[in-house]
Amino acid sequence: MATPMLRWCCPGRRWIFAGIGGGSRHGRGVPTGSTSSGKKGQSSVAQQPLITAQKPRKGEREWAAVVGLEIHAQIASNSKLFSGSQVDFAAPPNSLVSFFDASLPGTLPVLNRRCVEAAVMTGLALDCHINRKSLFDRKHYFYADLPAGYQITQQRLPIAVNGSLAYSVCVGKRWSQMVTRTVGVKQIQLEQDSGKSLHDNLRSQTLIDLNRAGVGLLEVVLEPDMSCGEEAAAAVRELQLILQALGTSQANMAEGQLRVDANISVHHPGEPLGVRTEVKNLNSARFLAKAIDYEIQRQISELENGGKILNETRSFDYKLGCTVPMRDKEGKQDYRFMPEPNLPPLLLYDSGSLPTGADPQQVIDIDQLRERLPELPRVTREKLVRQYGMLPEHSFALLNEVGLLEFFQNVIKETRAEPKKVTSWVLNTFLGFLKQQNLAVSESPVTPSALAELLDLLDRKAISSSAAKQVFEELWRSKGKTPAQMVAEKKLELMQDAEALEQLCRSMLEAHPQVVTDVKKGNPRAINKLIGLVRRATLGRADPTVIKEVLERQLSS
Amino acid sequence: MWTRAVWLGLRAAAGGRRGFTSKADPQGSRQVTAELIEHLERLALVDFSSQEAVARLEKAIAFADRLRAMDTDGVEPKESVLEDRCLYLSSDNVVEGNCAEELLQNSHRGVEEYFVASPGNISWPKLDEKEPFSHH
């Protein structure tokens, strides 16, 4: 492998594809260096490291990091996984709790069909094998927010196994180089969420709210195919987009609908894998990569100083920016897994195996679900690239912001301007304004129609691009006027009178013989002065490129 | 520690019992050690507070061990007596909940509408902190 020897890869970097550089992109294909270690499990050097951090000092050996993830996504359903109480984020404490959720004696679990469908759809989207038979188990541990003393999960035989998730990361110094990577999906299982604990340290007590207890979760286990925080964050981001596109989870990390635990270890390439630690509850998209990279660096430092890594559980302290050991995990947890005695095996069917005369409500047909799968983000992006000739990183940017793709498509519908122009305006100007004022697309003061109209004016060469930017700013600030009205008001229309322009240029040349001599002597920048003068004379209503053309033509004659 | 002597004594008394043998390990006889008792106590939050209780445990294990007398070679294990039943799927409708007051009546303590628990997890004294076993 012709990789420069490096300390370890991936200095932490934001994975959001912000700020596409405008202007001249020379047509260049995207290097799809897809280094997939697929489902081989842990390989000694998992991936081609991304960025050279620093050259190792003499005598030092390089390190490779191995990162696996366990992601819990709350299923978007009306009721819980095994009971008929409501799933809702904000409600009075303990108001969305049934007798079963509170683990009162005599209650039994009843499986929610919607949750099973969500699991199958997610499995299909991640190219998993869907197990026609899967089983439920009890995982025992004591905690106040787990009233039953066990969680119903799928330990022996989960609903989906052996899939893969493709995601993209930026390599190199420029945002524009993107590479596709793949991480294996070990399994997807259905399980219950626990309640919430609110620690009241003042009164030395813990308040328990069981509203969340029993809510359906999809646990997605990603193989340790990732090698740094950036890759992990990109994989999580793509999973988030997939879940949102499928509608199986809103996957909002801030609201706790998507939680990530990371398993991290380091080793020297070629040597066996190191001891791993588990970093729990990485619940912020922003800090995910940071936390993982911190832990990797901590392990490297520890080992280089002759220390040892303990197989322990840690959590990320957001304030201090470091991982700390978690309380109360004396030795290994023994969950005493046992089959859930109240639930028969979950059987799924396909079109070939559907039992005849069965109640459709009681039967789940995998093929039917596959047919109804919504378009996945990967496919949407490919279509955008094909249809509009945009660069892959543009398609990522469009899908990365809620509502942005729709906005873009609405503008395209109403304007005659070229797609490339629209892409540039939406991703640079429009998105730039949104970000500056921290607004969502839905809160934009500029509508797709307004932007479309503006781009039409630009396309017709009725205004110059600098005038267009001015108008856009105006549109953003004040409502009620159309672009055309603004252009008229501010007299921003381009001079359409070619003859008048010729005249103006000629007179300008006559008035500045010294500059003319400079240009003729071969100073190419001298002409800019003339262009500036003409522009001012036209009150900014002539396109600088056109002025330049005219002047150059006149000078050479 | 003095408890170990007690266990060894018990084992000798029981005599000839197979104890925790796995099928794959015919000779190994895992004794019910003090550490194991402590581990089980912590896992299940059960207090084996007397020798009698432990003896009862050993008898229970011996009783269950008789299952190994069956030859189950080539037989697919059953996991549940419900295996042949159909797993009922409910439609995704909200039909329960909204009974906070009723649920909280079960609770010893409450704060507003929250259940109250002691901070941290359920603590368990370490082995050497515990009272020695007493005879009941």
Q: Is residue B50 pLDDT above 50, yes or no? A: yes
Calculate the alpha carbon distances from A374 to A160, A246, A370, A371 in Å.
Answer: 19, 6, 9, 9
Q: Do the Cβ atoms of A327 and B120 come within 8 Å?
A: yes
**Could you tell me if B105 lies within 8 Å of chain A, comparing CB atoms?**
no
Q: Which pLDDT belongs to residue A147?
A: 93
Q: Which pLDDT belongs to residue B29?
A: 45
Q: CA nearest A201 in B: which residue?
A: B119
Q: Is residue B9 pLDDT above 70, yes or no? A: no
Distance from CA of A359 to the nearest CA of B (A): 11
Calculate the alpha carbon distances from A348 to A210, A370, A530, B90 in Å.
Answer: 31, 13, 77, 15
Amino acid at residue number A141: Y
Per the CB < 8 A criterion, the answer to whether A473 and A521 are in contact is no
More confident residue, B43 or A355: A355
As a whole number of angstroms, the distance between CA A120 and CA A366 comes to 7
Distance from CA of B113 to the nearest CA of A (A): 6
Q: CA nearest A118 in B: which residue?
A: B92
As a whole number of angstroms, the distance between CA B102 and CA A243 comes to 36
More confident residue, B24 or A56: A56
CB-CB neighbors (< 8 A) of A197 in chain B: 117
Q: Do the Cβ atoms of A206 and B116 come within 8 Å?
A: yes
CA distance from start to end of chain A: 60
Q: Which pLDDT belongs to residue A289?
A: 93
User: Where residue A381 falls among pLDDT bands split at 50, 70, 90?
Assistant: very high
Distance from CA of B36 to the nearest CA of A (A): 12
Q: Which pLDDT belongs to residue B125?
A: 58
Q: Which pLDDT belongs to residue A10?
A: 52
ipTM of the complex: 0.75
Least confident stretch, A83-87, A152-156, B102-106:
B102-106
The sign of the torsion formed by the CA atoms of A532, A533, A537, A538 equals: negative
Q: CA nearest A348 in B: which residue?
A: B87
- A-to-B residue pairs, Cβ atoms closer than 8 angstroms: 147
**Could you tell me if B82 lies within 8 Å of chain A, comparing CB atoms?**
yes
The sign of the torsion formed by the CA atoms of B70, B76, B77, B78 equals: negative
Calculate the alpha carbon distances from A513 to A507, A526, B87, B113 in Å.
Answer: 11, 12, 94, 88
CB-CB neighbors (< 8 A) of A110 in chain B: 88, 90
Of A178, A158, A251, A216, which is closest to residue A32 (Cα–Cα)? Answer: A178
As a whole number of angstroms, the distance between CA B103 and CA B96 comes to 13
CB-CB neighbors (< 8 A) of A210 in chain B: 103, 115
Q: Do the Cβ atoms of A205 and B118 come within 8 Å?
A: yes
Phi, psi (deg, nearest 5) at residue A79: -120, 175
Distance from CA of A302 to the nearest CA of B (A): 29
Q: Is residue A14 pLDDT above 60, yes or no? A: no
Of A346, A434, A371, which is closest to residue A81 (Cα–Cα)? Answer: A346
Amino acid at residue number A14: R
DSSP at A354: P
DSSP letters, chain B, are -HHHHHHHHHHHHH-S---B--TT-SS--B---HHHHHHHHHHHT----SHHHHHHHHHHHHHHHGGGGS--TTPPPP--TTTTS---EE-S---B---HHHHHTT-S-EETTEEEE-SSS-----GGGSPPP---
As a whole number of angstroms, the distance between CA A172 and CA A31 comes to 12
Q: What is the mean pLDDT of residues A489-506?
A: 78
Distance from CA of A409 to the nearest CA of B (A): 34
Per the CB < 8 A criterion, the answer to whether A166 and A180 are in contact is yes
As a whole number of angstroms, the distance between CA A16 and CA A4 comes to 26
Per the CB < 8 A criterion, the answer to whether A417 and A456 are in contact is yes
**Could you tell me if B91 lies within 8 Å of chain A, comparing CB atoms?**
yes
Q: Which pLDDT belongs to residue A31?
A: 34
Give Cα A130 to chain centroid, integer Å. Answer: 26
CB atoms within 10 A of CB B89: 20
Instruction: Give CB contacts under 8 A, 24+ apart, made by A407-411.
Output: A407/A441, A407/A444, A407/A448, A410/A448, A410/A449, A410/A452, A411/A448, A411/A451, A411/A452, A411/A455
Q: What is the mean pLDDT of residues B41-56?
A: 83
Q: Which pLDDT belongs to residue B132?
A: 45
Indicate the helix (H) or strand (E) that contains A246. Answer: helix A229-246
More confident residue, B33 or A295: A295
As a whole number of angstroms, the distance between CA A6 and CA A498 comes to 61
Of B98, B117, B75, B8, which is closest to residue A88 (Cα–Cα)? Answer: B98
Per the CB < 8 A criterion, the answer to whether A75 and A114 are in contact is yes
More confident residue, A449 or A58: A449
User: Where residue B100 falls among pLDDT bands split at 50, 70, 90?
Assistant: very high
As a whole number of angstroms, the distance between CA B52 and CA B43 comes to 20
User: Where residue A330 falls among pLDDT bands split at 50, 70, 90?
Assistant: low
User: Where residue A526 falls among pLDDT bands split at 50, 70, 90?
Assistant: confident
CB burial string A173-193: b at 16+ within 10 A, e below: eeebebbbbbbbbbbbbbbbb
Q: Is residue A299 pLDDT above 60, yes or no? A: yes
- Nearest-Å Rg of the Cα atoms of chain B is 23
**Could you tell me if B104 lies within 8 Å of chain A, comparing CB atoms?**
yes
Q: Which pLDDT belongs to residue A332?
A: 64
Residues 6 or more apart whose CB falls under 8 angstroms from that of A299 comprise: A65, A264, A265, A266, A274, A277, A309
CB-CB neighbors (< 8 A) of B122 in chain A: 142
Q: What is the mean pLDDT of residues A311-325?
A: 88
Q: Which pLDDT belongs to residue B122?
A: 62
